[in-house]
Structures are given as structure tokens and as C-alpha cells.
Amino acid sequence: MKLLYFAWLRTRTGLGEEEIALPQDVRTVRDLVDWLRQRGPGFSAAFENMKVVRAAVNQSYVQLDHPVSEGDEIAFFPPVTGG
């Protein structure tokens, strides 16, 4: 699966995007966030407060209970500030 990080989630994780294999026992976006948090201080800081993180699966906004699967494009970013 492809993971994308934007704005300060990119800065904190230190990554713009990455390819990972679907980790074992990860079924939902929430599971994935829990898995990512354990990767190190940058990731735990990025996902510290999920109230200010939005998630998209395959370029559509989703809730944290949305399922994820191999081949998905999953993006994390703050509330948008364009316009």
C-alpha cells in the first residue's frame, strides 16, 4: 500500500510518501495509525492528536473505522487551508 503525508504530517514524519506492505492485524485506518505511531517519535508526534488529522483512502475522505487493504493509497493530512 502507498502512504502519503502532507503539510506538518510530512514535516513530522519526515516522509512525503512511502510504500509499505499491509502490516499484520491492520484492518482499519485506526489500526494503521496505531501501527504507525510505534515507528518512532516523529510518527508518534504526527499522529498525537487525531482531531487535527484527516485521512483519505484512494483520494476520498474516510473515518478512522474505514477498512484498508493492500493496494490502497492512504493519505494523512491536517484540515485543509486552501482557497
Interface residues toward another protein, by CB under 8 A: 4, 6-8, 10-11, 56, 59-61, 75, 77-83
**Alpha carbon distance, N-terminus to C-terminus of the chain:** 30
Query: In 3-state terms, what secondary structure has residue 31?
Result: helix
Q: Which is nearer to another protein, 17 or 65 (CB)?
A: 17
Q: Which is nearer to another protein, 7 or 50 (CB)?
A: 7
Q: Which is nearer to another protein, 67 or 78 (CB)?
A: 78
We find the least distance from the C-beta atom of residue 58 to another protein, in angstroms, to be: 9
Amino acid at 18: E
Element spanning 77, H or E: strand 73-77
